[in-house]
Every structure is written in C-alpha cells, then in structure tokens.
C-alpha cells in the first residue's frame, strides 16, 4: 500500500470537532426554517461553460470532472461548482414551472474551489446559503430582511461578537457618476482593496489606472471611509457635495436597511460604504460579516442582490442571497481554541460487561435506554471495570452502566457517584444527554 499523503485545502475534522460543526449546522438550518426557507440540494457538477461564464476569474477556480474509464464529451465538459449561487440560478431556470415565487430557499452543501490553500481558504468546504428569488421583479424589502436572518442565526451560536457590514451598489455608482467617473467597475475593484493595501496605494492606483485626478481620488476615498451603525451615514455622504439621482436612491435604500436593523438587531449591522464585493454578480445591496477583533481574517459570511444571474431570455429571476462560510468560521474558532466539543462521541452511557456471556442482556438494556432517546453503546469487550471506565473516559462518555448482584447501577465517572438505576426510567441530566460545545472564557 502506498504511503498516505495529506492533501492541503481539504479539511477533515476529528470527531469532537465534527460535533461542533454539526451543532453549528443544526442551529443554522433551524433558524433558516424558522424564517420560512425551504431546503434544496443541487448536483455537485455543472457544465464548465456555465461555471466559467460567471466572472472573469471563474475559470481559474473550477475543478474539472471526467471519467477515467471513458472520455465522453458530456463528462469532459463538467466541473465541480465553486459556490452555490451558480447552481441555484440554474435550478431556478430548470424548475421555474414547478416553483412558487417568491421562492425562499436554503442550501447547505460542499463546494470546491481551485485556489491556493491558506488559512480560512480551502479547496473543499461547506457553505450555508439563503436566497429569495422572484419572477420579473424582486421587492426591495427582501434586501432588508436577509441580514436580519443571519443576525438571528449568529446570535444563537457561541461565536465572538460580530458585525454585518452592508452597502448598496447604487451609492458608489451614483457618487462616481456625480464625479464624472466613467470606469465605475474599475474604480470599485480598486476601492475593494482598501483594507488590504491601504489608502495611499489605493490613491496611487486610482490616479494611474482609471486616471482620476488627485481631488477626485480623494473624494472616492472619503466616501469609502464613511461608516455608521445607524442612518447617519446619509448626511455624511451628502456633506461631500456630490449629487446624482442614483446616489439618492442608494442612500434611501441603505437608510431603510439600517432603520430596520436598529429596530430588530440593534448594533449588529454597520453601514460601510467601502464594501463592494461580487462585481460580477451583485447589482444592489451587498453584505459582508466579520468577527470583531479578528477583522484580518476577512469575511465569514457575504452576499448581495443579483438582478441578471438567472434569465431564460424571456423571464428574469432577480434574487438576493447570503452565504455563511461554515468551514471557514468553524475552523477559525477551533484553531484559536475558542470552541471545542465536550466529547468525541454522541454516546452518553457505556454499558460495561462482566463477561462476554452478558452481552445479550446488555444489548437488551441498551434497547430500553435508546427507546427513550438516550445514546448508548455496549462495551467492545469484557474486561476489568477499571479498563472499561478508562475507555469511556478517553472518549468523554460521562456514564458507565454496571450489572451487579443487587441489580443495575450507573456511575458518573467524573464525580465517582454510583447509584441504582432502572433502564425503564433512568435518564441522565439534560446537559449530558448530547454532546455540547464548550467555550473558553474569552468567548463567553
């Protein structure tokens, strides 16, 4: 057998870490469903042509798929999806006659991206998306609603404080038009680098690339530096003296979002006018989410409105969506020691064996306990009780069940307390029934 060689960019969690990930997925899924989103799952592959049409860098990210045994044309033209938005757009077009619009969907799946692995960026990872699409027109109020759904989900998770940054594409678009800038997309791409390269290099690129004057570049930076946790950003923008009807529309839209945010999730949303992201997708509101104090790690949740991603030539299906980078978020919290699973197995009770002949009776006891929702396993082999207790302890199993001459007893191996127990009625404390997520003091 050949030597096993790890592949970078393909994270694999150990059982206790997987418990943390599953708890996150449970909370996210339950929250999405509370807000009326229906679950779908799309195929892992799409035609390469469709994938490569979604942005100038898309072809660099695609993992191609082909059969090794046969090189048929269909298989050679397939690629693994690098996000869930492109396959969802195709899904809407393919099933539009069977869907009821507006269609609210959530999707939790693996995606694959052919990029250089680094911390927080993987070749295979899990995303959790919500989108709302409509036929023909999509009301703006959905752009207000979606970040509140994410705020609800994150508020239920044991994560550090976070902020959801929000902007509308109409604000920079209208502002740049008011300044007489023609290459709006080019300027947005440069401004999007502000956190990475700083204002001096952004100014340099704005004057050397799109050829802005020094004063115009200053105005562009002044807009990008505006942020607020309420609607006060609008007056800051107007104070810059630039006027355009598209700018007015954007300011009104973002004001509505921030007003709703402060009513339902005060302090969690920030109007941040440098957020541009997804220039190949998004046409309206855009979102990014960062952990406060760990901004250098980048966004853990992002999205926006798209008006033309799904169209069959007759009908356009505009939508708005947000994607949680589940693997990115969970891996960061685990690697920094902020979270860990309370045990490496769902098992709450290990049934010990006096002798191998007792296995049949132990199995019957296990069936009784499981019928009442208690996770149980029978010891792998009869051995000295001390050895069986150590086996349970290594896996974090809190209770060991014994058969004695006077009847059944259960031992809490953490405290050492051992009491008589009836398999028809005994139940562990609620906090021990299932594994939980343990947090460090700084994350509480």
91 is in an annotated binding site: no
Asked whether residue 353 is marked as a ligand-binding residue, the answer is no
Angle at 331 between CA 325 and CA 337, to 5 degrees: 140
Contact predicate 141/132, CB 8 Å: no
DSSP SS3 for 222: helix
Q: Maximum CA pair distance of the chain? A: 91
Partners of residue 51 on adjacent β-strands: none
Residue 131 known to bind ligand = yes
Task: Say if residue 282 carries a ligand binding annotation.
Answer: yes
Let me know: does 205 contact 310? Beta carbons within 8 Å. Answer: no
The verdict on whether residue 312 carries a ligand-binding annotation is no
Q: What is the DSSP string of 277-301?
A: --TTT-SSEEEEEEETT-GGG--SE
Alpha helices in 382-443 (DSSP H): 385-395, 430-433
Give the strands of the sheet with 78-80, arranged side by side.
45-47, 78-80, 63-65
| CA distances, 228 to each of 145, 234, 268 (Å) | 19, 9, 11
**Is 43 known to sit in a ligand binding site?**
no
**CA 152 centroid distance within chain:** 13
Cβ neighbours of residue 153 closer than 8 Å, sequence gap 6 or more: 27, 28, 31, 32, 324
**113 marked among binding-site residues:** yes
d(CA 328, CA 154): 14
Q: How far apart are CA 77 and CA 354, in angstroms?
A: 60
Nearest to 426, CA basis, from 410, 414, 439: 410
Which strand (E) or helix (H) includes residue 319?
strand 319-325
Cα angle value 288/230/276 (rounded, 5°): 30
206: its two tokens? 């704005």
The candidate with the shortest Cα–Cα distance to 273, out of 260, 262, 257, 296, is: 257
273 is in an annotated binding site: no
Residue 317 assigned as binding residue: no
Known binding residues for L-histidine are 83-85, 113, 127, 131, 277, 281-282
Query: Residues comprising the binding site?
Result: 83-85, 113, 127, 131, 277, 281-282
């Amino acid at each position: 057998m050949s030597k096993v060689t790890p592949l970078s960019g393909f994270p694999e969690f150990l059982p206790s870490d997987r418990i943390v990930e599953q708890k996150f997925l449970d909370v996210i899924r339950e929250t999405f469903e509370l807000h009326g989103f229906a679950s779908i799952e799309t195929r892992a592959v799409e035609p390469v042509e469709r994938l490569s049409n979604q942005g100038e860098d898309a072809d660099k990210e695609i993992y191609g798929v082909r059969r090794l045994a046969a090189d048929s044309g269909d298989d050679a033209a397939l690629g693994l999806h690098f996000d869930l938005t492109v396959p969802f757009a195709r899904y809407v077009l393919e099933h539009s006659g069977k869907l009821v619009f507006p269609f609210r969907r959530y999707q939790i799946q693996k995606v694959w991206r052919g990029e250089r692995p680094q911390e927080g960026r993987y070749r295979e990872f899990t995303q959790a998306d919500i989108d709302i699409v409509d036929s023909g027109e999509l009301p703006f109020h959905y752009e207000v609603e979606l970040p509140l759904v994410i705020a609800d989900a994150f508020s239920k998770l044991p994560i550090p404080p976070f902020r959801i940054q929000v902007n509308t594409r109409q604000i920079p678009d209208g502002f740049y038009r008011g300044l007489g800038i023609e290459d709006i997309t080019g300027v947005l791409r440069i401004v999007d680098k502000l956190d990475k390269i700083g204002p001096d290099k952004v100014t340099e690129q704005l004057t050397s690339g799109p050829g802005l004057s020094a004063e115009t570049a200053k105005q562009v930076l002044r807009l990008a530096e505006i942020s607020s946790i309420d609607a006060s950003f609008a007056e800051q923008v107007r104070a810059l003296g630039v006027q355009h009807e598209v700018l007015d529309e954007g300011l009104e839209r973002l004001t509505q979002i921030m007003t709703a945010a402060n009513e339902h999730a005060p302090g969690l949303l920030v109007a941040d006018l440098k957020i541009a992201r997804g220039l190949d997708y998004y046409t309206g509101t855009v979102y990014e989410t960062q952990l406060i104090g760990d901004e250098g790690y980048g966004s853990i949740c992002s999205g926006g409105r798209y008006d033309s991603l799904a169209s069959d030539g007759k009908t356009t299906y505009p939508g708005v969506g947000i994607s949680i980078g589940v693997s990115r978020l969970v891996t960061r919290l685990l690697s920094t020691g902020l979270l860990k699973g309370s045990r490496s197995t769902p098992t709450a009770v290990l049934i010990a064996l006096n002798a191998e002949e007792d296995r049949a009776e132990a199995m019957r006891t296990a069936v009784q306990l499981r019928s009442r929702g208690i996770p149980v396993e029978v010891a792998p082999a009869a051995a000295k009780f001390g050895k069986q207790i150590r086996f349970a302890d290594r896996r974090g199993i809190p209770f060991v069940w014994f058969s004695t001459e006077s009847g059944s007893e259960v031992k809490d191996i953490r405290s050492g307390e051992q009491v008589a127990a009836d398999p028809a009625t005994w139940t562990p404390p609620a906090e021990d029934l299932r594994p939980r997520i343990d947090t460090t003091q700084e994350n509480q």
